[in-house]
Amino acid sequence: FGLPKDRIEVIIHPQSIIHSMVEFVDGSIKAQMGIPDMKLPIQYALSYPERFPVSYSTMDFIKYSQLTFQKPDFKKFKCLELAYRSLDLGGSYPVVLNAANEVAVQKFLNNEIKFTQIPEIIEDALEKFGTSKEPDVNEIFEFDAKVREFYLKSNKVTYGIS
């Protein structure tokens, strides 16, 4: 969205009621809130600018009357630390991170790797494929394809699963 890295802040919200928030220059904040389920945010992303009725329960503010927030622990949320590092490094790093993350998550969903190995694959990809040179549009697709091909073909044993 053209925002500089220092304008993006990630916070942990354990209740998962607030799906996104935007703070404006006057200090006011708009939040997209709903039940702790991604159905509505995904539905809206797919139907924008329309809004469709839903068949499931909606927000009960009495049930969810307390909202808490905390700073992320980068040791616990290693992928978030890697994302910030990719933003700092620029170049192809964000593209490499995205491609490696998508492949790693798919491998996890296919029971090929452990959940805790997702950041290992991402970090490995950043080291192998990341460059500080700003890629053009064609190079973005090339980096994405190279990373996906490499990790889709990689042997499961490489990541400690026999």
pLDDT tens-digit readout, 99-115: 999 999 999 999 999 99
pTM, whole model, 2 decimals?
Answer: 0.76
Mean pLDDT of 14-31: 94
Q: What residue spans of 7-77 are helical by DSSP H?
A: 39-47
At residue 157, the pLDDT reads 41
Provide DSSP, 91-148: TTHHHHHHHHHHHHHHHHHTTSS-GGGHHHHHHHHHHHH--SSPP-HHHHHHHHHHHH
At residue 37, the pLDDT reads 87
Boundary (domain end) residue, out of 50, 71, 92: 71
Mark whether 34 and 82 lie in a shared domain: no
110: three-class secondary structure by DSSP? coil
At residue 117, the pLDDT reads 95
Boundary (domain end) residue, out of 71, 91, 123: 71
Q: pLDDT-derived band of residue 155, with 50, 70 and 90 as boundaries?
A: low
Domain that holds residue 105: 78-159
How many structural domains compose the chain?
A: 2
The mean pLDDT value of the chain amounts to 90
Is the residue at 108 inside a domain?
A: yes
Structure-token pair, residue 95: 């593209």
Q: pLDDT-derived band of residue 1, with 50, 70 and 90 as boundaries?
A: low
Mark whether 94 and 149 lie in a shared domain: yes
CATH code, domain with 97: 1.10.1740.10
Task: Name the percent of the chain lying above pLDDT 70.
Answer: 94
Is the residue at 55 inside a domain?
A: yes
Dihedral sign computed on CA atoms, order 2, 88, 12, 147: positive
C-beta of residue 79 within 8 angstroms of C-beta of residue 118: yes
Mean pLDDT of 118-125: 96
